[in-house]
Amino acid sequence: MCGRFAITLPNDAMAQLFSASPANDLPEVPNYNVCPTTQIHVVQGGEGGRRLVSMRWGFLPHWYKAPDGGPLLINARAETIATKPAFRDACRQRRCLIPVTGFYEWTKDEDGLRWPWYIHGEGPLALAGVWQSWKGENGPVNTCAIVTTGANRPMSAIHHRMPVIVGHEDWALWLGEAGHGAAKLMTSAPDDLLSFYQVDRAVNSNRAAGPDLIDPLDEG
């Protein structure tokens, strides 16, 4: 799964990287502790070109009567996304990319304590996502979820799931700009794409902030 991440790229740099027009209400960056239900950066495709917009991380199916009207859907499993009622239409029609600098995963020690790991690549990563416009009392709310798949060999030492990472050469295909065939992209990342290291347990709090959250843990 993917339940927390960091984004440090400035908004204008993000827009340039994805060749996207930026919205005016983008979340503040850097953010080293992006949590579910907050607004995150999302790249959408469309007839007018790509847009970098803000969306709620936590997919809301159309039948939810309120944001807390059902389970919190921050991830969508690649294996079932095409058949699950919540995601199947979005999988076909409303795919997006979610820029991150890195993401967190946790392991437990023998005492049951949760220890966080920071997972990253050599540069920004584009996670596969799906989005949904939900009709709220005060108007439409755009929401999204991160697509996950089985972990690759290195990641499996930390967790059995990982986000689907879309390479630059496949962005157009995932966004629906290059025809059909996006389903083939929902696989685990190559074993050599990511690196990871343990970080301080401070990030276990969703109120924690600051660049020190991604500093390697000083085991000395």
Domain boundaries, the chain: 5-214
Report the topology of domain 5-214: hypothetical protein yedk fold (3.90.1680)
Which portions of the chain are predicted below pLDDT 70? 219-220
Position 220 scores a pLDDT of: 46
User: Which of the following is catalytic: 2, 91, 96, 144?
Assistant: 2
Position 136 scores a pLDDT of: 84
Cα separation of 129 and 71, whole Å? 18
- How far, CA to CA in Å, does 48 sit from each of 95, 175, 177? 16, 13, 11
Position 138 scores a pLDDT of: 85
- DSSP H/E element including 90: helix 88-93
- The yes-or-no answer on residue 105 being catalytic is yes
Looking at residue 39, what DSSP letter applies? Answer: E
User: Which of the following is catalytic: 91, 96, 105, 144?
Assistant: 105
Structure tokens at 41: 């950066």
Opening angle at CA 6, ends 150 and 72, nearest 5: 60
- The yes-or-no answer on residue 144 being catalytic is no
pLDDT, tens digit (0-9, with 9 covering 90-100), for 77-123: 999 999 999 999 999 999 999 999 999 999 999 898 999 999 999 99
- DSSP H/E element including 81: none
